[in-house]
Structure formats: C-alpha cells, structure tokens
Chains A and B, each alone.
Chain A
Amino acid sequence: MQFLEHQLENGLQVIAECNPQACCSAAGFFVRAGARDESDSLSGVSHFLEHMVFKGTERRAAADVNRELDDMGAQSNAFTSEEQTVYYAAMLPEYLSQGIDLLADIMRPSLREEDFAMEKQVILEEIAKYDDQPPYGAQERVMALHFGSHPLARSVLGTCQSVEALSRDQMAGYWQERYSPSNMTLAATGKIDFDALVSQLETLCGSWQGADVERAIPSGGEGGQLEQIHKPEATQQYVLQLANGPAADDPRRFAARVMATVVGDETGSRLFWELVDSGEAEIAALDSYEFEGTGIFMNYLCCTPERARQNMETIDAMLATLRQDGIRQEELEQAQNKICSQVVLGSERTMNRLFSLGINWMLRKNYMTVAETVESYSRVTCQDVAELLEEFPLDRRSLVTVGPLSRWDE
C-alpha cells in the first residue's frame, strides 16, 4: 500500500493509495462545493449541478455518459453534502484509463437548457420523495434551526421554490466558480499506476482554468432552540437534537466518535439498553459528524407518540449523568473494539478506501493509513472523553420533532 500525491500547475490535486494486489480500481473527483457554499437564490444548486454533470459534454451526449459507464461495468454514482460534491466509479483495472477519461470530461459539462429543464423535474421528484419518508425532512430542519445564519444551515436539496426559480445561467456561474481546478481533487485507490494516472490527467485537465475560491468558515451553531412540526398522518414520533462537537481538524474528533458509540451506538450502548432493548423506542442513537470549522452530535429518537416525552426525559437524565460521571473504562474499550473492527473490515473494499482517502484529504489535507486511524481511536482515554464533554456539553442543543403529537409540551 503506497500513498502518492501530485499537484497539476493549475492547482488540481491528484492523490492515490496504490494497492497492487487489488482486483479493482476506484477513482473520483472530490469537489469542494456543497450547500454551505450557496446563497439563498442558489439554494439546491450544488446538488442539481451534480445531476447535470451526467447530462453530457462537448464530446458526449447524456446517453453516451450513461452508456459508457455501463460499458465499462463501472459501479458509479455521485453525491452532494453540505461540503462536498463527489463523483466516483469503481471498475476493473483495465477500464481505469477509460473511466478517468469519462470522469474528467463530465467535470466540464455542457449544461444544456433542454436537459436543465428536464432534470429540474427529477430534482423536484427527489425532494417530494424525501418529504414522504421519515424523518420527513427533519434532519435538514434541525440543521437550519441549530445553525441559524451559519452556512451549514443550508439545505442540500433546496426547496421546491428555490429549485424552480434556478436558471441555467445561475448554475453555470456557480460551476465556473466552484469547479475551478484548485478547488478539486482526483483521488484513486486500488490497483493504480500513479505515473500513468498523472500523465493522463495532465493531458485531460491541464488546460482547465479557474480562480482560487474562498469558503466562509465561521464557528459552530448557537443551539438551544425548539421547533415542532405537526404531521398527523405519521405513525411514529421523530425527535432530532443537535449539539456542537469537534471540527474536522480537531484531534478530539476521535474521542467524539468513541463517546457517541458508548452513548448511542446501534447495539450495546447506553441508549440501546435504556430505550431500544427495553422496547421503549424503535431507534435511539447518537452520532458525531465533522465539518470544516465545527462539528455536531446528532441524537435521533423514533418511538410511539405516547412515549416520546418520557423517552426524552430518560435521554436528558442520561446525558446529565454522562456529563457528571463520564464513561467507564470497560465502556471505552468496548467502543474502541467495535470502531476499530469496523474501520478494518470497511477498508477491505476499494470503494470504501476511496471515500476515506478523498474526504480526509478534502477536510484535512493529510493521509491516514488504516493502522493510523485504528491507533488514533485506540489512544482515546476516559479523561479525553470527560474533557470533550466539558468543552462540548450535549445539553446545549437544538431540537426538532415531527409526528402526530399536536403539542410537544402536552
């Protein structure tokens, strides 16, 4: 396993974790463009643009892009988050060069007016789809509530109104700014000939132009707010809470994940024993997420409406005890064993390594081996967790609830 990096003159970065034993190759463009880079009038444009990127270039029609990806037998897709847009494909090594040619080409999309109008319908369908399934958009609502005027308050999908109002030219302007080569990284994992990769990218992307682009990185959300959405037709009540956590470049992020695992992992955690195993709730979980400049802890509860208040009181009491007493050594070790095993098992797939490599580079501009990641989690102590809880109290939070309860304080 060897890590290699190179930067083209126009700023495009190329990174790879080369594994000569791998049976496949994976590659992806990681673009530093997401909901947090949008304005009110551009809300949803990063995600809409992600769709439009597959709609063809000067060299390829939309159908050609789809057909070529299938011709190669590639497993490919794309996703948009608050901070990144990622286009990726995993394929057999003999198709890598063809795959890179295609991925590089679609980064310079035509954005044809006719395709734009058609794809707008698909985006509106996607928004309707998420509105119709739990937790009915509450995840984006709680981010908006918690972050207020902070860029992380912005919705990835946007709203029907904002997407309807978007024009092709607005999207082209956003693309021009954000898909500048210095704002992009090509990451590759698995069986990779790095010299050949760099040489191919010089040819394909060397002429790309674009200015350096800034991103606003204010500190975390304010928290402490509540919003209730009444949805009488839902069966279960859904409650999401956010509190601030360590940022992506904060070494305390390892302690944050360990703590979240102790408190709210799917099995064997405090919330699991108190609420899930006992049948009080369908889901009661705590997760940590990191962004540039800030992080969050997200607590998710799903249960019958009758039990929602009581379950929240149980969670409040649990968090108070946690802050006062911290976690026990055996809980720490159990969480570390779990996390480290998940990290190692996950790393066997070339595609998983691509996401780890690419996202880590986007957030921190560094490379971590699997062993280094395992080591970082193994080093966390109970004292680290206690200090983390002092710095990031879980009770200073924002809450959104959606479901049949007409009044949350009933």
Chain B
Amino acid sequence: MNDHVHVHRFENGLVLLAEPMDWVESAAFTWLLPAGCRHDPADQLGLASFTCEMAQRGCGPWSNRQFVERLDNLGIVRSAGVSLEHTRFGAAMPRQRLAEALQAYSQLIWHPHLPADQVEESRQVCSHDIHSIQDAPAQQLMQALRRQYYPEPLGRSSQGTLAGVEAIGHSQVSQFYQSHYHPDGSILAVAGNIEWPELLEEVGGLLEAWQGPANDCPEPAEATGEDLHIPHSSSQTHIGIAFDAIPYSHPDYFQLRGAIGVLSDGMSSRLFTEVRENRGLCYAVQASCSSLKDRGCVMTYAGTTTERAQETLDVTLQELVRLGKGIEAEELKRLQARIKSALIMQQESSSARSSSITSDWYFLQRVYSLEELNRILDDLTCESINTYLAENPPGDFRIVTLGEQPLETPHAVS
C-alpha cells in the first residue's frame, strides 16, 4: 500500500495532487473550482449551480451532445455539483482513459460554450432541483438547519431559490464563469493506477497557460438565526439540532470526531441504542460533524411519527447533554476499530481516495497519510476526548423541526 501523495502547484495557482494506487485498474479525479454558492448575488441565489449546469452544455470542439457521447464512450462515470465554497466535477474511469478524460474536462472548465440558446433549458433543470427539495422533507429540514445555524452566506444551499433562478440571464452566467472558474484556488486530485511523471506532464500541457485572478470572499455576517418550526402536512416530523464545534483544521478536531463517533457511528452508538433500539422511536437518527474552513458545528437528524416526535427530541437532547459528561474506554476502542477498518477499505476505491485527498488539501493544505491517521487514532484516549468535552460540552442548541406541530424546545436541559 502506498501512502505517498504527490503535490505540484502550477504558477497559475492550480494545485495538482496524485495518489498512486497500483492495485486498482481504475483512475478517478475530483476537481474543485473556487466557484461556490457563497458567491451568488443575494438576488440571484442559484447562480453557481446555474453556471455549473451551463458549463456542461458543450465545450471546446464539442457540442453539448458530442461532449456527453464522448464521455459515455470513454466509460467515464461522473458527477457534478456545487457546495458553499466550490463547484466540483468528479470522474472515475478505466485507467487507460484518464488522459482523454482530463483533456475533456480541461475543455469544460477552460472553454465552455455557455450556449445562450440553452439558458431556458438550464433554468428548468435548476428549477426542478428546487422543486425536488420541496418534496424531500428530510433534506428540506437539514437545509433549513444550516440556514438557521450559520450566518449568511455560510448556511446557503446551492440550489438557490425559484426567484433567484428566475432572475438569472446569460450575462450573469457568463460573468460568474469569468469571475470564478479560475486556477488559483482550484484543486485537481487524481487517485488510482497512475504514473506521476506522465500525469504531471499531461496536466501541465493542458492547463499551465490557464489564467485568472484569485477570488475575494466577502466576510460573512454575524449569526442571527433562531429556532424554527416549518409547518408540513405529513405523518412524520423531522428534527434537526445543531451546536457549536470546531472545524476539521483545528488541532483538537479528532477529539471532537471521536466524541461524535461514540454518539452516532455504528449500531452500538449511543443515539442508535437509546433512540431506536431501546425505545423504538424512529428508523433513522444520526449526528455528524460539519466543517467549514474557519468554523464548524455538529448536526443531528431524526425523523419520526408526529406522536413520538417530542420524546424523540427530548431523548436526543438528553444524549447530547450526556455526551458532555464523557465517554468510556470500551466505546472509544470500538470507534477506533471502525475508523481504522474504514480507512483501509477506502483503499479499494480510487473515487473515494481522490475525494478524500481533495478535502484534506482544502482544509489543511496537506494530506494525511494512512500511517499518520492511524497514529492520531491510536493517540486518542478517553482522557483526551473527555477533556475536550468538559471544555466544550454540547449546548446552546439550535433546533429546527418540520412537521404538523411545533415541539417544545427546552434550552435549559442539563
């Protein structure tokens, strides 16, 4: 197993990462561009997603249809999306197709047609994405929780609003592309059965001349969100809770991750045991760490029938408060085994690795090796996690619910 990750920063600012995995037959890349929805103007929410959709409608020598046919014929399995900070393109393929895939995506990113005669089609695609969230209550809830927890624009969801998407025209898309699809702030991470010298030469040949200035990021506003109930006609109530925590880049991050793992990872975790197994309150309950570059939080989700929603909220809050009182050695040992196994199993997937090294680089400007992560996990102790929890007990909860009736949200639980 090879832990070495190659890194090269081109003069234009583009960072190329590569993790060779000679035991797989595939290659995969993740390409992040500094074109996230935080840059959407307030009256055009959804612009980054709209631009991402338009960028895929033909580029370089290829029309929309020719481009898709080319990728399909190369057997490239792909994805595209927008997050708060980035527009992301992902692709996985048989390793022999990597060079052609990189050529195709370089055209997409550098020479998209952004065809003016397909603005209306793109608007419809973006509107569908917004409608689909309206029919997906769990997603709707978690989007609302992010909005209520993070200050604007950090809590935005990439789909934007129908009014925002309606206000977008070709010139706004073109301008957004010009301002944000830049090499500086872009990360291209490749993993799989690859040769670094060839890859470096290939990417250099394709993208060295790509130019563009770095983006400015407006400072977020102060957090002003409050608890919220969203009326929704259904037999289910969805419950989201957020509280302050540290981001991935913080030196104590793995203390937090350990604590939240005890709370939510696996079938013996506290939330699964107390909410589902011991009380049968719901089918799905979970908690996870949410990280932005300079801040983070923990978010929990539970979906349950309306009659049992209050008890589900109460028990979940009790578990969050109990977590602040510390974890036990047995719980930590199980978590360490789970995470270590998951890290090793991730070595089977070039897609998972390319995604993981991209994320590391964005948050840390470096990539953890497997050995380093194992060492960090081995160094976690009950004492270290409990010290963290004693200093940062879960509290000051932001609670968002979606369902027939609002729930009582006792802030003074302890």
Check: B94 CB closer than 8 A to any chain A CB.
yes
Cβ B68 vs Cβ A90 within 8 A:
no
On chain A, the residues within 8 Å of B273 by CB distance are 63, 66
CA distance A63 to B267 in the complex (A): 9
Cβ B74 vs Cβ A66 within 8 A:
no
Check: A268 CB closer than 8 A to any chain B CB.
yes
What mask results when residues 337 to 375 of chain A are scored 1 for a CB within 8 Å of chain B, else 0? 110111011001110000000000000000000000000
Interchain CB contact (< 8 A) of B266 among A70, A121, A349 = A70
Q: Which residue of B lies closest to A91 (CB)?
A: B341
With contacts A66-B273, A133-B137 known, is A279 near B122, CB below 8 A?
A: yes
Check: B120 CB closer than 8 A to any chain A CB.
yes
CA distance A203 to B26 in the complex (A): 40
Check: A224 CB closer than 8 A to any chain B CB.
no
With contacts A235-B135, A342-B77, A348-B24 known, is A277 near B64, CB below 8 A?
A: yes
Chain B count of residues within 8 A CB distance of the other chain: 75
CA distance A304 to B131 in the complex (A): 8
A:245-276 near B, CB below 8 Å: 267-268, 273, 276
Cβ B334 vs Cβ A71 within 8 A:
yes
A:138-173 near B, CB below 8 Å: none
Check: B125 CB closer than 8 A to any chain A CB.
yes
Cβ B281 vs Cβ A280 within 8 A:
no
Interchain CB contact (< 8 A) of B280 among A24, A73, A121 = A121
On chain B, the residues within 8 Å of A63 by CB distance are 268, 273, 277
B:78-132 near A, CB below 8 Å: 78, 92-94, 120-125, 127-129, 131-132
What mask results when residues 43 to 86 of chain B are scored 1 for a CB within 8 Å of chain A, else 0? 00000000000000000000011001101111111100000000
Cβ B131 vs Cβ A236 within 8 A:
yes
With contacts A66-B266, A344-B25, A348-B349 known, is A338 near B134, CB below 8 A?
A: no
Name which of A70, A92, A282 has the most chain B CB atoms within 10 A of its CB.
Answer: A70
CA distance A70 to B335 in the complex (A): 7
Cβ A90 vs Cβ B345 within 8 A:
yes
CA distance A233 to B140 in the complex (A): 15
Cβ B68 vs Cβ A341 within 8 A:
no
Cβ A333 vs Cβ B267 within 8 A:
no
On chain B, the residues within 8 Å of A75 by CB distance are 341-342, 345
Check: A132 CB closer than 8 A to any chain B CB.
yes
CA distance A118 to B275 in the complex (A): 11
Task: Give the shortest distance, in Å, between A56 (CB) and chain B (any CB).
Answer: 11
Interchain CB contact (< 8 A) of A340 among B26, B75, B340 = B75
With contacts A66-B273, A66-B277 known, is A21 near B284, CB below 8 A?
A: no
Check: A88 CB closer than 8 A to any chain B CB.
no
On chain A, the residues within 8 Å of B269 by CB distance are 70
CA distance A66 to B270 in the complex (A): 11
With contacts A23-B347, A92-B341 known, is A337 near B74, CB below 8 A?
A: yes
Q: Which residue of B lies closest to A132 (CB)?
A: B236
CA distance A337 to B349 in the complex (A): 20
With contacts A129-B303, A282-B132, A348-B26 known, is A341 near B341, CB below 8 A?
A: no
On chain A, the residues within 8 Å of B333 by CB distance are 71
CA distance A69 to B77 in the complex (A): 32
On chain B, the residues within 8 Å of A132 by CB distance are 137, 234-236, 303
Interchain CB contact (< 8 A) of A282 among B68, B75, B131, B304 = B131
Check: A74 CB closer than 8 A to any chain B CB.
yes
Interchain CB contact (< 8 A) of B94 among A122, A282, A345 = A345
On chain B, the residues within 8 Å of A334 by CB distance are 69, 72-73
CA distance A66 to B267 in the complex (A): 5
Q: Which residue of B lies closest to A190 (CB)?
A: B348
Check: A125 CB closer than 8 A to any chain B CB.
yes
Check: A318 CB closer than 8 A to any chain B CB.
no
Give residues in A with beta carbon < 8 Å to B.
Answer: 21-24, 54, 62-63, 65-67, 69-76, 90-92, 118-122, 124-126, 128-129, 131-134, 233-236, 267-268, 273, 276-282, 302-304, 333-334, 337-338, 340-342, 344-345, 348-350
Give residues in B with beta carbon < 8 Å to A.
Answer: 1, 23-26, 64-65, 68-69, 71-78, 92-94, 120-125, 127-129, 131-132, 134-138, 233-236, 265-269, 272-273, 276-284, 303-305, 308, 333-335, 337-342, 344-345, 347-350
Q: List the 5 shortest-distance A-B pairs measured between CB atoms, nearest first.
A: A279-B124, A341-B75, A73-B341, A121-B280, A282-B128
